[in-house]
Amino acid sequence: MVYLPHWPIPSTLGKKIIDFQTVFERAKIVLERLGNPHLKMPPAIHIAGTNGKGSTSNIIAKIFQCHNYKVHLYTSPHLHNCNERIVINGEIISDADLFLCLEEVRLASAGVDLTFMEGFTIGAFVAFAKFPADILILECGMGARIDITNIVENKIASIITAISLDHQEYLGETLEEIALEKCFVAKAKTPLIVSPQSKNVKDIITNFANQINAPIYHYDDDFFVEKIIDEDNKINGNFNFFWSDELLLSNLNSPNLLGDHQYHNCASAIACAMALSNQYEFNFSGINRAISCVKWASRLEKIENNLLKLLKNPQSEIWIDGAHNEGGAFVLNQWLESQSNKKNYVLCGFSKNKCKVNFLNKFNSENCQLIAIRVELEPYPEASEVICEIAKNNNIEIIDGKNLYEAVKLIGKINQDEEVRIVICGSLHLARDVKSFNENFIDW
């Protein structure tokens, strides 16, 4: 892919763009030794973005599955074990198959220094080439331009989900720079579906798509969803889907994934299906069934485990969510504000140097009490004291909760019999802490 001379390249990206042709040299050596499995996989729907990639990927996969298509799915990161990243025909890859695929990569990579993401993704390509399927849903790990998944050539559609500030050390300091990196998920003459974006980001994506001649479908301009208001003037959760200003699908069930942002993710997934409807057959019942049963772990997931024993009131709730950047914090706080009147606690832990003021600020209100925790099963965790220092230096009220167990125990002690709602967020590695706590719980 080459930039046209008049494209406004941000100066900070200039050198990286010149190096574009050499990004995949290591991977190509290994892939050639393996017989180029990336050229033998099913046609791919390639998904980039900051927030919503995993949810949108799973919704699209479920739409195809509900229409009797065989689907492979590749996502990242994993929560509990690496197998989660590779789904073969609807089933997480077995230990035996994963071992064999990665062993092939290990042997083929002799003398080549691959990163973990490169090696594991090539292993996924080996798996996807071994097992027949009709479609591959392929999620970018980071960005798109220099992401290993972008070595795949057989794309039939691309999606860019909501873009927010994240991974600035690799992708750029501004939304516009990050958007430009994500644009490389697009391919000439291949549909590009774009979730809701800010105007500047939308303009960059549109300019890019026009230059490479990629048909583009924007939320609001080309498709959108509308919640249904019932006879009592209440929103019941069901929604209508509009395509080119025409009502295409009416009274769809509310998404099984919680939060208003999931309506946007559903819209992008359905729009992708519509853009591919000449190649694949989709109907109302299959789409309705898909959005009603789709699951995606640790995205506003209600926790029902031993952590609840630390709270006195049986009506108290504990949730975990993958929000880890400003955009994720914004939609999570929106959801909290829409919930019934319980006292809200937001427990946040981060990887080192990932705690951002704009994330914490989203919960700096009377509606929430922030508590900093250390992520115990995070390889490079940020200390809870550091999170507190960042917050207090910016006039954000916060409590040092130390770790997950101590924080929940403290909330139970403070509130006694009062109902509370706890949301755990900041790092997806916290999902491991939640599971580990449940498995190793001692009756305190």
The model's pLDDT over 377-413, given as tens digits with 9 standing for 90+, comes to 888 899 999 999 999 999 999 999 999 999 999 999 9
Q: Which residues pair with 235 in a beta bridge?
A: 229
Contact 386, 356 (CB under 8 A): no
| 102 vs 334, higher pLDDT | 102
Burial of 314 from C-beta contacts in 10 A (0-12 / 13-18 / 19+): exposed
Residue 225: per-residue pLDDT: 95
Q: Which residue has the higher pLDDT, 21 or 26?
A: 26
Looking only at Cα atoms, what is the longest distance across the chain?
68
Residue 87 CB partners (closer than 8 Å, separation 6+): 61, 71, 72, 73, 74, 75, 93
Residue 285: C-alpha distances to residues 66, 249, 428 (Å)? 9, 10, 33
> Which pLDDT value is given to residue 81?
87
What pLDDT band is residue 442 in, cutting at 50, 70 and 90? very low
CA distances from 321 to 60, 314, 333 (A): 21, 21, 11
Instruction: Quick: pLDDT tens for 206-264.
Output: 999 999 999 999 999 999 999 988 766 566 689 999 998 899 999 999 998 888 889 99
The DSSP H or E segment spanning 248 is strand 246-252
> CA quadruple 180, 182, 183, 187: dihedral positive or negative?
positive
The pLDDT of residue 8 is 38
328 within 8 A of 346, measured Cβ to Cβ: no
Q: What is the phi/psi pair of residue 353, to 5°?
A: 70, 15
Q: Which of 2-16, 263-277, 295-309, 373-387 has the lowest mean pLDDT?
A: 2-16
Contact assessment for residue 306 and residue 441, using Cβ atoms and an 8 Å cutoff: yes
Neighbours of 211 (CB within 10 A): 17
Q: Give dist(CA 124, CA 21) in Å, integer.
A: 23
- Mean pLDDT (the chain, rounded): 88
* Closest residue by Cα to residue 82 from 94, 90, 71: 94
Contact 405, 442 (CB under 8 A): no
What pLDDT, on the 0 to 100 scale, is given for residue 4? 31
φ/ψ of residue 318, rounded to 5: -130, 130
Residue 247: its pLDDT value, please? 93
Enter the pTM of the model. Answer: 0.85
What is each CA distance from 347 to 180, 287, 363, 423, in whole angstroms? 33, 35, 10, 6
Integer Cα distance of 62 and 68 in angstroms: 10
Structure tokens of 422?
């706890």
Tens digit of each residue's pLDDT (9 = 90 or more) over 41-93: 999 999 998 888 989 999 999 999 999 999 999 998 888 889 999 999 999 99
